[in-house]
């Protein structure tokens, strides 16, 4: 491994070299590119131009090399910039009031999407892919670390596993202080901390919410570094050894962030049945965007699974309390103060995803409101202390959460013509297709290459559409009055006792779906009465757009059909050797299949007849140590697979269970980011399947089928 101190010195040089090379290239090619953007072409020549450029992109897309994504981005930006130039100079009409109003609304949404596209390409143009660096062999040189686990209203069953995982981290015990920060001020939590051998801190009020809780702890503790975990995020044993090395090689480093991995399905994954097959909403951020930010020294603190150096944090006044996204705001202040950050793209902790779509929406509303607040009160494009690249990365992160209105505009834009005959784009259907389709196709092709396994095509449309209506108001209000809104805690560890259709969450999208259905019917009627080929082409263009919108809305509606979730603890796949000890002294060799806080599934090496209810012991071995856990055989799943439920474990047995499962150093690395790349047609097929499921569930709900099924669930009957 290269000397990190040398790597740190070479990093600015590499950046300077990159900027010089880009500058020289720009001087050579910008005039030619500008000409290619602004030259007007008729339909035939525009199609030829688009075909040539797209053909070049197709030839390049599967080639290896770091230059290939950059070239694809350049071709995409060329075509998209040409499209935007054409839109702004040739298609914005000044006809009727309806044309002007709706047309300006659509072009504004397109400008927003174009800006986000450009900033997004810049952000991920050269992901750093930082690797950990080793700590000194002499552990006396390792610093003292305080581990903070903030909690407010979460149940102890969720919090205790995180606390126990923190206690088995590989760090000198005299240099590791673990603190549970209980803003709920609960006696059972205090008693548990005493039993587990960790510190307990509570304060008399909840001022500043999570940020205030952490700031209060800073005043009562003294570690040189602070590791912060949400109370459902269990660190692995190797977390500190993986994340602390860079601090000892860069005195200006203030934050090291690692990914947030969730071992339970989020509402999208559970309700759509895509857990483990389609990358979830957050995987793009932690799999690619933060890695891209790291190249530009713009990685920001995400509230958990991170280490912060105390001195810089105290220098900027502690964790920011002015906004409800205290984490990103704190990182922005640290960067303004001249400190650096780092991102290590190796999951070293795992937690629980939100349990329901309504909870998920509430969480994203807070994120959106907070980012809008930061944009309003501490705009990264203004003020001192940031490099241009940092300003652009932060701005892109904040602008992302303003997609609510543009999404809704795109979902309703074709209705302007179908309902009112309004020409929101003053051009023929063929001309629109000749300019718009290459713009969209290049963006899809390029994103498929650079995002790969972190985000499958078209799913971004589903994720953002599902949240668009709900983030529109908080982002708008936060810009107008950033003091509005308060921090809300995301519920974790809850159950969904029965399947049901959440009509309240789905309502905005049911309305949009109805409007699109009516628009399609009106469009079909217009085809019958159309008096020219141009009108027919325009109608077909808008009907096609409407059908696409309905497909996305169908998938969104499917996410609102909450699936029953009655497991108190989620099962996690794990394949390691184990031993099953029987009451008569026999020891049966086996391998684990999966585990949870409450039980484990094992596959016997050899067939053996065992009765349900048999009391056994499961021996787990990890790092040349082993421990036995009392359990009861609950059921035989066939093929020598047994389901086993742990008996009442004492605290040390529970700690061993955590150490040999959740806290394994390799636990989450072997699972995270293992999705294969999926092409456009594969993604389209999966979104169509989800959409079909949404329409099916909507039909059942409208005809009473969902309500009858809920009644059966309530009575405990089968379907």
Q: Of 583, 618, 625, 622, which is closest to residue 604 (Cα–Cα)?
A: 618
Judged on CB neighbours under 10 Å (0-12, 13-18, 19+), 249 is middle
- Which residues, in sequence order, are bridge partners of residue 225? 145, 309
Buried b / exposed e across 268-300, counting CB within 10 Å, b at 16+?
Answer: bbbbbebbeebbbbbbbbbbbbbbbbbbbbbbb
Q: Are 446 and 128 in contact (CB under 8 A)?
A: no
Instruction: Report d(CA 407, CA 449) in Å as an integer.
Output: 24
Ramachandran bin of 297, using left for φ above 0, alpha for ψ from -120 to 50, beta for the remaining angles: left
- DSSP state letters, 72-132: HHHHHHHHHHHHHHHHHHHS----SHHHHHHHHHHHHHHHHHHHHHHHHHHHTSS------
The token pair that represents 134 in the structure block: 């080793």
Buried b / exposed e across 13-48, counting CB within 10 Å, b at 16+?
Answer: eebeeeeeeeeeeeeeeeeebeeebeeebeeeebbe
SS3 at position 31: helix
Ramachandran bin of 562, using left for φ above 0, alpha for ψ from -120 to 50, beta for the remaining angles: beta
Q: Of 559, 545, 360, which is closest to residue 462 (Cα–Cα)?
A: 559
Q: Of 271, 264, 262, which is closest to residue 556 (Cα–Cα)?
A: 271
Helix/strand number for the chain, H first, E second = 23, 19
The token pair that represents 462 in the structure block: 């589903």
Q: Which 8-state DSSP code applies to residue 18?
A: H
Active site residues: 183, 327
Q: Which 8-state DSSP code applies to residue 565?
A: B
- Which residues, in sequence order, are bridge partners of residue 228? 148, 306
Q: Of 544, 551, 514, which is closest to residue 689 (Cα–Cα)?
A: 551
The token pair that represents 359 in the structure block: 């909870």
Residues 76/79/82/84 CA torsion (nearest 10 deg): -60
Residues 703/709/714/716 CA torsion (nearest 10 deg): 160
- Supply φ then ψ for residue 98, to 5 degrees: -65, -45
Q: Are 509 and 577 in contact (CB under 8 A)?
A: no
Instruction: Report d(CA 203, CA 659) in Å as an integer.
Output: 31
- Supply φ then ψ for residue 395, to 5 degrees: -60, -40
Q: Which 8-state DSSP code applies to residue 65?
A: S
Instruction: Report d(CA 662, CA 168) in Å as an integer.
Output: 11
Q: Are 617 and 602 in contact (CB under 8 A)?
A: no
- Which residues, in sequence order, are bridge partners of residue 200? 180
The token pair that represents 540 in the structure block: 């077909």
- Which residues, in sequence order, are bridge partners of residue 619? 579, 628
The token pair that represents 627 in the structure block: 């421990």
- Which residues, in sequence order, are bridge partners of residue 94? none
Buried b / exposed e across 509-546, counting CB within 10 Å, b at 16+?
Answer: bbebbebbeebbebbeebeeeeeeeebebbbebbbebb
């Amino acid at each position: 491994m290269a000397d990190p101190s040398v790597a740190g010195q070479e990093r600015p040089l590499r950046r300077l070299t990159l900027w010089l090379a880009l500058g020289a290239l720009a001087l050579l090619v910008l005039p030619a590119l500008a000409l290619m953007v602004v030259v007007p072409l008729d339909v035939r020549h525009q199609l030829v131009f688009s075909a040539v450029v797209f053909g070049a992109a197709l030839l390049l897309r599967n080639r290896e090399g770091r230059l290939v994504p950059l070239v694809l981005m350049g071709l995409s930006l060329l075509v998209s910039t040409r499209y935007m130039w054409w839109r702004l100079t040739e298609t914005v009409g000044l006809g009727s009031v309806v044309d002007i109003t709706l047309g300006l609304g659509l072009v504004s949404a397109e400008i927003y999407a174009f800006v986000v596209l450009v900033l997004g390409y810049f952000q991920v143009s050269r992901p750093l892919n930082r690797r950990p660096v080793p700590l000194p062999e002499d552990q006396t040189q390792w610093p003292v670390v305080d581990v903070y686990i903030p909690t407010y209203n979460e149940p102890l069953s969720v919090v205790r596993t995180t606390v126990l995982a923190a206690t088995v981290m590989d760090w000198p015990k005299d240099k590791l202080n673990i603190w549970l920060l209980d803003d709920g001020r609960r006696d059972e939590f205090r008693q548990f901390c005493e039993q587990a051998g960790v510190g307990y801190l509570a304060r008399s009020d909840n001022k500043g919410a999570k940020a205030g809780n952490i700031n209060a702890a800073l005043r009562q503790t003294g570690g040189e570094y602070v590791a912060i975990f949400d109370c459902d995020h269990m660190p692995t044993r190797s977390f500190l050894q993986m994340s602390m090395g860079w601090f000892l090689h860069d005195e200006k480093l203030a934050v090291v962030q690692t990914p947030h991995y969730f071992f339970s399905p989020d509402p999208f994954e559970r309700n759509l049945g895509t857990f483990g097959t389609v990358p979830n909403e957050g995987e793009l951020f932690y799999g690619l965007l933060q890695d891209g930010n790291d190249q530009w020294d713009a990685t920001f603190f995400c509230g958990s699974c991170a280490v912060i150096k105390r001195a810089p944090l105290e220098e900027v006044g502690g964790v920011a309390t002015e906004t409800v996204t205290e984490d990103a705001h704190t990182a922005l202040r640290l960067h303004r103060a001249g400190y650096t950050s780092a991102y290590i793209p190796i999951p070293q902790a795992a937690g629980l995803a939100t349990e329901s779509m309504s909870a998920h929406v509430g969480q994203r509303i807070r994120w959106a409101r907070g980012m809008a607040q930061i944009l309003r009160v501490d705009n990264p494009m203004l003020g001192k202390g940031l490099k241009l690249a940092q300003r652009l990365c932060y701005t892109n992160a904040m602008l992302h959460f303003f997609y609510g209105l543009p999404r809704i505009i795109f979902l309703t834009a074709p209705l302007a013509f179908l309902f009112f005959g309004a020409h929101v784009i003053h051009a023929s259907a063929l001309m629109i297709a000749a300019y718009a389709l290459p713009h969209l196709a290049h963006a899809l092709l390029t994103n498929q290459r650079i995002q790969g396994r972190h985000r499958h095509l078209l799913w971004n449309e589903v994720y953002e559409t599902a949240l668009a209506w709900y983030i529109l108001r908080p982002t708008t209000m936060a810009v107008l009055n950033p003091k509005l809104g308060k921090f809300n805690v995301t519920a974790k560890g809850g159950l969904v006792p029965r399947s049901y259709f959440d009509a309240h969450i789905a309502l905005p999208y049911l309305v949009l779906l109805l409007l699109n259905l009516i628009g399609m019917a009106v469009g079909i009627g217009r085809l019958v009465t159309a008096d020219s080929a141009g009108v027919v082409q325009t109608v077909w263009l808008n009907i096609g757009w409407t059908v696409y919108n309905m497909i996305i809305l169908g998938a969104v509606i499917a996410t609102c059909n909450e699936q029953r979730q009655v497991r108190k603890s989620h099962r996690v796949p794990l394949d390691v050797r184990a031993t099953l000890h029987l009451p008569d002294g026999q020891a049966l060799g086996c391998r684990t299949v999966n585990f949870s806080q409450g039980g484990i599934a094992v596959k016997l090496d050899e067939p053996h007849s065992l009765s349900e209810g048999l009391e056994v012991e499961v021996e787990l071995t990890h790092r040349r140590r082993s421990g036995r856990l009392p359990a009861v055989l609950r059921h035989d799943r066939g093929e020598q697979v047994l389901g086993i439920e742990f008996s009442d474990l004492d605290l040390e047995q529970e700690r061993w269970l955590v150490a040999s499962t959740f806290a394994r150093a390799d636990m989450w690395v072997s699972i995270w980011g293992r999705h294969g790349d999926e092409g456009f047609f594969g993604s389209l097929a999966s979104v169509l399947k989800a959409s079909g499921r949404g329409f099916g569930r909507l039909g059942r709900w409208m005809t009473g089928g969902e309500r009858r099924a809920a009644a059966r669930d309530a009575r405990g009957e089968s379907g």
